Structure 1
Amino acid sequence: MTADPEDEVLHRTENNVSWITLNRPEAMNAVTWDQRERVIALLAEASADPAVRAVVVTATGKGFCAGADLRGSPGVPGSPGGERVAGDVARMIRLGAQRLITAVLDCEKPVLAAVNGTAAGIGAHLALACDLVIAAEPARFIEVFVRRGLVPDGGGAYLLPRLVGPQKAKELMFFGDAVPAAEAQRLGLVNRVVAAEELEATARAWAERLAQGPTRALAMTKQLVNASLDGDRAASLAAEATAQEINMGTADANEGVASFVERRTPKYLGR
């Protein structure tokens, strides 16, 4: 019997925060095709819903995400549908892992990863694609692909060098060693490490603080930072000026300026 994706990816919205929780603890939250589709859809909904102003991605059990569970996925040897043919794997990667990572990067709301345990393969890239990462002390990050004789996918060769530089990225990908949470923080992969029992509360505090911020300004700030890593200085400065022009027409920008002039705390509505 096929599992219900709504059971395997839990979702709730509280205090303007969308909580997306991987829920296959018996499989260390190795993500299936159906789970990916649900997470992608929830991120798209978060972008479009003005009532959602921040997102948390987390998981149940001892693992954050042990990678991709490819059983039954198209293009995988031994899966339903017969023998693999040329192009199947590339298509599977484009439609699966890459769409998942792109959904996080392109989400118009700040996305926070609350990493409760092992994040391996695409699971590590899911966390690292998020705007902020909080890790529990037992968490580990593993570029597991080399252990299976595989090339990293899910944007790993794009994400890692931008976080730790090309030499360190190659070390992590060439050897596939587990990186403990404290080391991940030292390398710049993680913003904060907390005790396991403090993870949810810390993530909630950060997410709700983000949810009280100027949502459109945060969205454009996210876009500017992400794009700056790919473009030249002139393009980055032009994008910055355009974003500022657009943002100055929002209610939150007007509120921010008015609150400064009136010497009071701003009250942002996300509009």
Structure 2
Amino acid sequence: MGDDDDIRYAVADHIATLTLNRPERMNTISAPMLDLLGALLTRANGDPDVRAVILTGTGRAFCAGLDLASASRGEGIGSAAAAHPPTIDLRAAPPTVLFAMDKPVIAALNGSAAGYGMDIAIGCDIRVMAQDAKLAAAFVKRGVVPESGGTWLLPRLIGWAKAAELIFTGRTLTADEALQLGLANHVVATADVPATARAIAAEIAANAPLAVQASKRMMRMGMDERFDTHVQHVYLQLLPLFRTDDFQEGIRSFMEKRPATFIGR
């Protein structure tokens, strides 16, 4: 698993790169791709050699959403045959897996993200967008809701009022508008998207991975906790980090005024 034609998976320098690879279909997500994407994200999160993840696409789009062309033919996602599936394991679905991941995930938006593609992009921790890329929250224009986390994520990312306007109108945002709203971290030339995302991933990967992952867990928990409860959880997370080799290396490198070399234990 990992070098499927529709999703490419590679690991180098502690960075896992997942590339949606259906450029002729603007990287729309088929039913098999949903399973594969969830499995590959789980694989990256469980690999001790991986310290950061990049999710990107090939061609002119990051991801134009679910494969509605198949649904219009009565096949796949959204079709009548799939309307009442016997079971749906949401725990293995890409948005749920993304939310639960301890490894930081960077969305490298080589092109536009629409519908499901937008939900996947905003489910990542950091977004680097090409100048000509767009975010299209077109759910209500298709008769559905942001089904993959958007109704939970957007109010937390940009506030209720701005999220309400975006979702209820089904509006499309330019990269600069996404940057102004805080939905993009960086907007760069299309050709610079891969290098910019990789530079951020490399900077993350150079840090103590257990501390980075614990920080992400604490941030996630803190979204729904009271401050005093959260401080207690942070303290309990801090204690085992004090006993790691990486903590000792962090102290030594600081005292010796040199870059640290972390090993993840």
TM-score by length of 2: 0.91
Q: What residue is the counterpart of 1:77 in the other structure?
A: 79
1:42-90 Cα shifts (integer Å, max 9, x gaps): 111112211111110000011111111253336x3343x7xx44xx49x
State how 1:35-114 maps to structure 2 within 5 Å.
35-69=33-67, 71=70, 72-73=75-76, 76-79=78-81, 84-85=83-84, 88=85, 92=88, 95=90, 99-114=93-108
Q: What residue is the counterpart of 2:154 in the other structure?
A: 160
Distance 1:7 1:78 in 2: 27
Counterpart amino acid of 2:76? S
Q: Does 1:209 align with 2:203?
A: yes
Task: Compute the displacement of 1:95 (Å).
Answer: 3.1
1:134-160 Cα shifts (integer Å, max 9, x gaps): 111111111111101212210111100
Q: What residue is the counterpart of 1:181 in the other structure?
A: 175
Q: Does 1:226 align with 2:230?
A: no
SS class of match (2:4): helix
Q: Does 1:34 align with 2:32?
A: yes
When the two structures are aligned, how many residues end up with a matched partner?
259
- 2:41 touches 2:94 (CA, 8 Å); kept in 1? no
Counterpart amino acid of 1:28? M
- Aligned-pair identity in percent equals 37
Task: Compute the displacement of 1:5 (Å).
Answer: 7.8
Counterpart pick for 1:146 among 140, 144, 152: 140
- 2:214 touches 2:237 (CA, 8 Å); kept in 1? yes
Task: Compute the displacement of 1:182 (Å).
Answer: 0.9
Q: Which runs of 4+ in 1 moved over 6 A?
A: none
Q: Does 1:11 align with 2:9?
A: yes
- 1:8 touches 1:23 (CA, 8 Å); kept in 2? yes
Instruction: Report the more deviating stretch, 41-50 or 132-141.
Output: 41-50
SS class of match (1:52): coil
Give the gaps of 5 or more residues in structure 1. Answer: none
Instruction: Report the more deviating stretch, 173-182 or 104-113.
Output: 104-113
Distance 1:107 1:252 in 2: 21
Q: CA RMSD in A?
A: 2.0
Shift in CA distance, 149/134, structure 1 to aligned 2, threshold 3 Å: same
Q: Does 1:257 align with 2:251?
A: yes
1:195-227 Cα shifts (integer Å, max 9, x gaps): 001111111111122122111111111111112
Instruction: Report the more deviating stretch, 52-61 or 32-41.
Output: 32-41
Instruction: Report the more deviating stretch, 120-129 or 247-256.
Output: 247-256
Distance 1:14 1:103 in 2: 22
Counterpart amino acid of 1:159? L
Q: What residue is the counterpart of 2:237 in the other structure?
A: 243
SS class of match (1:138): coil
